């Protein structure tokens, strides 16, 4: 009879992999968990919740059970044209390569940047929409969604730029576009 055991392996000083139900004779494992000792950002679990095995990422939630915020910073020029402030970021594309992107401003509750709602924003300039899941079949953790109305000439932060709403719909920022759709339907 095979004897099962659990293993904890360090990836670095923060990340770890936990293998539960390891059976060395059969070369099998019951579950795999990847997380950080401090509980920040997310954990990845191989789950059987839908009747088959697949990886699921669980965002770290705050006391309000939210994982972060996606915020559309909207500006209107003198001609009534609407623009969104986007941030220029790097991400890992489907090929596993570092690639540039533009996206609506956002934050994770574990990220050191803090809220994407600029400090000092008047409550009258904030439209709170409803929480969304970024990808509910792979990533669990609702994020809050907001629209913040700013003066057109409000200074941009480093790494930000203005983009027309039409051009923003051509980006691959699905969470930002979900907030844009909520905003447009609530006008």
Rounded to whole angstroms, the Cα distance separating 174 from 16 reads 30
Taken in order of first residue, the domains within the chain and their CATH numbers are 5-59 (no CATH), 68-185 (3.90.79.40)
* DSSP code string of 129-172: ---B-SBTTTEE--EEEEEEEE-TTPPPPTTEEEEEHHHHTTSS
Q: Report the number of secondary-structure helices (H) and strands (E) in the chain.
A: 2, 12
CA-to-CA dists, residue 64 to 71, 138, 143, 144, angstroms: 18, 21, 10, 10
pLDDT in tens, the chain (187 residues): 678 999 999 999 999 999 999 999 999 888 999 999 999 999 999 988 888 989 999 999 999 999 999 999 999 999 999 999 999 999 999 999 999 999 999 998 887 777 888 888 999 999 999 999 988 889 999 999 999 999 999 999 999 999 999 999 999 999 999 999 999 998 8
Tokens 């596993």 belong to residue: 96
């Amino acid at each position: 009879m095979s004897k099962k055991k659990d293993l904890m392996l360090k990836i670095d000083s923060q990340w770890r992999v936990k293998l539960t139900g390891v059976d060395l004779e059969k070369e099998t494992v019951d579950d795999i968990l990847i997380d950080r000792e401090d509980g920040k950002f997310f954990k990845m679990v191989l789950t059987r919740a839908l009747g088959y095995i697949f990886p699921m990422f669980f965002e770290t939630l705050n006391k309000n059970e939210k994982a972060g915020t996606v915020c559309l910073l909207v500006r209107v020029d003198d001609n009534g044209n609407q623009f969104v402030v986007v941030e220029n970021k790097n991400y890992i594309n489907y090929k596993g390569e570092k690639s540039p992107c533009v996206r609506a401003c956002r934050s994770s509750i574990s990220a050191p940047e803090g809220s994407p709602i600029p400090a000092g924003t008047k409550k009258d300039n904030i439209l709170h929409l409803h929480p969304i899941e970024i990808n509910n079949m792979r990533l669990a953790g609702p994020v809050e969604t907001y629209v913040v109305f700013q003066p057109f000439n409000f200074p941009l932060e480093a790494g930000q730029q203005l983009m027309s709403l039409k051009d923003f719909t051509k980006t691959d920022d699905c969470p930002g576009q979900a907030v844009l759709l909520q905003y447009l339907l609530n006008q």
